[in-house]
Chains A and B, each alone.
Chain A
């Protein structure tokens, strides 16, 4: 179980309206990622679902029950915080057992569940250490373990990987995805990193200034962004936006071309000079000053392009994104 419905949910802090009326349906077993730039309200939205903040109006329904005014503990949700929020004075074992202790679960069952969680998360040999003696990744696992033992209706993750280094982030990302596949529990995951969103989510919710810009599967957002914001936010490097005569030629106000869709070839209709070439090995990113303006271009790594070179470029017509004056996709 783990179906969450938000209807007309709003949140304001005093005069400031952080979340305008918002509707969202999260289905049982889904991995939903809230993504958006910092300050877009994604963490606030998560905290509203968790019950750590009151909503100003609207309704939150969890598994068919109105949970709008329920305290956090009674919503049956578990949360993994950005700082992990482990209890520093308790051992790993006690940390993981804490929710069970609060629920007055018998000791034997507590032990069984803790052992089980430790096995799933490979924490067995650390159970009697304190959080201070663990590495960042291990702490993260303990935080997840503490969430698992509650057998919640849904897991809430608040930017859980942002305190880890790049390599560990990739590993943990995969571990969380695997965990989702084995538990099949609803997960709501907040991040500002669109790569995390794309790789983990069943469903991405793109947020901007408290509003939902688009909801959809990762590839759907990539191939059919509903507006300029989503088009610019999803995909890396960022989509190129072109206005002016070239856009008008295609019958739109703004023309969007993804860097990976631009082809460098002698027959290309556009020309430009390479200002900067970043060689990553597998790929090369080019910053090109062209007749269309500044363009980012992604080409395979071994092309031997470098600073100062003049090149010609083009893009297949079916890979062009067209937007109207209001930024909506045509």
Chain B
């Protein structure tokens, strides 16, 4: 039961919490604000909060100058594709780790995670060469594969922690009821784990969307997603703050909105089994 607190205490904690939250959020807010200013307003001293000249010209410029829909579509395909493929491979693996654990299950899981510790830069050249050789360079399928493999350990771990909360007896009941392994996973495990799978999907879509090393290293134009779009903007534009802000806003807006709407599921998914 939540305990009653005095109104004055509630006032001060509310004030403190809101101040902290606004400070954390402020950079994003400022960027969005700047994106609607004229370039002159954007760099004016002192900074203009509400007295600026407002314009949509930056968005029009960015839209006209680059093929935003293509970058956007590439981001969607790569983020969603890599996550769905990862889930398809990870669900059976997580099933077996959660319900048929062996002495080395924990070690296997830790090993999988440790593959993620290898700095991407360290293997950049070999992967670049391999991708060239296999014809995967600057293709969406190539990036889907790369990001799937990059996030696979995280996907497996998250699913594993969810599956472990499902009592094994239910799967055994399905087995007694004549369900094959396939049916057991499709009809019993997966529907029961929907919240967990949804959280995993969300988090990994976000991780893949925001990935900005392989997506830039392994693409040039055809398959380049929004991370490359923004990189191309910051480099030559230099001081065009308003345009840069507009491009940045366009790059992060889709995932920011998705994240806000699915915040509850996401937070639940973020715990990695840290909370029981």
Interface residues of A (CB under 8 A from B): 50, 52, 71-73, 77-79, 81-83, 85-90, 98-99, 102-103, 146, 150
A236–chain B nearest beta-carbon distance, Å? 29
- CB closest chain-A residue, reference B173: A85
B180–chain A nearest beta-carbon distance, Å? 8
- CB closest chain-B residue, reference A99: B177
Q: Do A83 and B167 contact each other (CB < 8 Å), given the known contacts A88-B192, A102-B183? A: yes
- CB closest chain-B residue, reference A158: B169
Determine the chain B residues whose CB is within 8 A of the CB of A72 once the complex forms. Answer: 172, 175-176
Establish whether residues B178 and A102, one from each chain, have CB atoms under 8 Å apart when the complex forms: yes
Establish whether residues A81 and B172, one from each chain, have CB atoms under 8 Å apart when the complex forms: yes
A77→B176 CA distance, assembly (Å) = 7
Establish whether residues B179 and A82, one from each chain, have CB atoms under 8 Å apart when the complex forms: no
Determine the chain B residues whose CB is within 8 A of the CB of A83 once the complex forms. Answer: 167, 169-170
Of the candidates B169, B187, B191, B194, the one whose C-beta lies within 8 Å of that of A82 is B169
Of the candidates B172, B177, B191, B192, the one whose C-beta lies within 8 Å of that of A102 is B177
Of the candidates A73, A78, A81, the one whose C-beta lies within 8 Å of that of B179 is A73
Determine the chain A residues whose CB is within 8 A of the CB of B206 once the complex forms. Answer: none
6 contacts between A and B (CB under 8 A): A83-B167, A85-B172, A86-B170, A87-B187, A88-B170, A99-B178
Interface residues of B (CB under 8 A from A): 167, 169-170, 172-180, 183, 187-188, 191-192, 194
3 A-B pairs with the lowest CB-CB distances in the bound complex, closest first = A85-B173, A99-B177, A73-B178
Establish whether residues A52 and B176, one from each chain, have CB atoms under 8 Å apart when the complex forms: yes
Determine the chain B residues whose CB is within 8 A of the CB of A103 once the complex forms. Answer: 178
A156→B195 CA distance, assembly (Å) = 32
Determine the chain B residues whose CB is within 8 A of the CB of A73 once the complex forms. Answer: 175-180
Residue among A79, A85, A87, A150 with the highest chain B CB neighbour number at 10 A? A85
A150→B174 CA distance, assembly (Å) = 13
Establish whether residues B175 and A87, one from each chain, have CB atoms under 8 Å apart when the complex forms: no
A257–chain B nearest beta-carbon distance, Å? 42
A249→B110 CA distance, assembly (Å) = 68
Determine the chain A residues whose CB is within 8 A of the CB of B169 once the complex forms. Answer: 81-83, 85
Determine the chain A residues whose CB is within 8 A of the CB of B175 once the complex forms. Answer: 52, 71-73
Determine the chain A residues whose CB is within 8 A of the CB of B179 once the complex forms. Answer: 73, 98, 102
Establish whether residues A150 and B192, one from each chain, have CB atoms under 8 Å apart when the complex forms: no
A85→B170 CA distance, assembly (Å) = 4
- CB closest chain-A residue, reference B184: A102
A85→B173 CA distance, assembly (Å) = 6
Establish whether residues B176 and A78, one from each chain, have CB atoms under 8 Å apart when the complex forms: yes
- CB closest chain-B residue, reference A80: B173
Establish whether residues B177 and A146, one from each chain, have CB atoms under 8 Å apart when the complex forms: yes
Determine the chain A residues whose CB is within 8 A of the CB of B191 once the complex forms. Answer: 87, 89-90
- CB closest chain-B residue, reference A47: B172
